[in-house]
Amino acid sequence: MKLKLIVVAMLLSSTLFAQQANVKDAFLEKWDNSKTYLIEMAQLMPAEDYNFKPTERQRSFVEQLEHIQGNMDWLSTKYFNRVKDDSVTFPTEKEAIITSLEDAFDAVGTAIATTSEEELKETVQFFAGPKSKIQILNLLLDHVTHHRGQLIVYLNLKNVEPPRYVGW
C-alpha cells in the first residue's frame, strides 16, 4: 500500500511540474546560464591567448567564439523572428568580443521569448531533414555546449582554471 501511495505521489508531482514548466521557459533558463558560463570562459582567457589553438587544424579560441556566435545568429534569424544587422562584423578586441557574445545571447533569448509555444511545435526544413523548432532550440544549446567543452580544454592548456560548471 505504501508503494502505491509513493507511486501516485510521484506521478502527481511530475504532472504538476509538467504543467508549471514549458519548453520555452526551460530553454530560456538554460540559455541564460549557458551565456553566463561561456562569458566567464571568455573573460578568463587572457587577451594575448585569444589566438591560441591547440593544433594547427583546430580553431583558435577566438575563432571558436566567433563560430558559436555565428551559429546563434544563423539559427535565430533563419528559424525564429530575429533580425540581424549583417553589416556588423565580429569584433577583434577581447572586451568587444565579450560584449558581442552577450548581445547575441540576449538577442536569441528575446527571439525565443517572443515565440509562441505553438510555433515551437512547427516543423521547418533543415539541412538534416525536417525538424521541429523545439529541435532547433536543442541544437542551439547543444552547439554552444559542444564548443564550450572545447574551450575548457583551451583554458586548461593555458593553465587557466575554467569556471565552475553551470548545469541549469
The stretch 130-150 carries a mean pLDDT of 96
Q: Distance of CA 41 to CAs 2, 44, 56, 79, 86, Å?
A: 48, 5, 22, 28, 26
Cell digits of residue 132: 521541429
Confidence of residue 12 (pLDDT cuts 50, 70, 90): very low
Residue with the larger pLDDT of the pair 165 and 105: 105
| Residue among 29, 105, 106 at smallest CA distance from 69 | 105
Which percentage of the chain shows pLDDT scores above 70? 86
Q: What is the pTM of this model?
A: 0.85
d(CA 84, CA 62): 21
Q: What is the mean pLDDT of the chain?
A: 89
**Which CATH code is given to the segment(s) 22-157?**
1.20.120.450
For the segment 64-115, what is each residue's pLDDT rounded down to a tens digit?
999 999 999 999 999 998 888 787 789 999 999 999 999 999 999 999 999 9
Domain boundaries, the chain: 22-157
Looking at residue 54, the DSSP 8-state letter turns out to be S
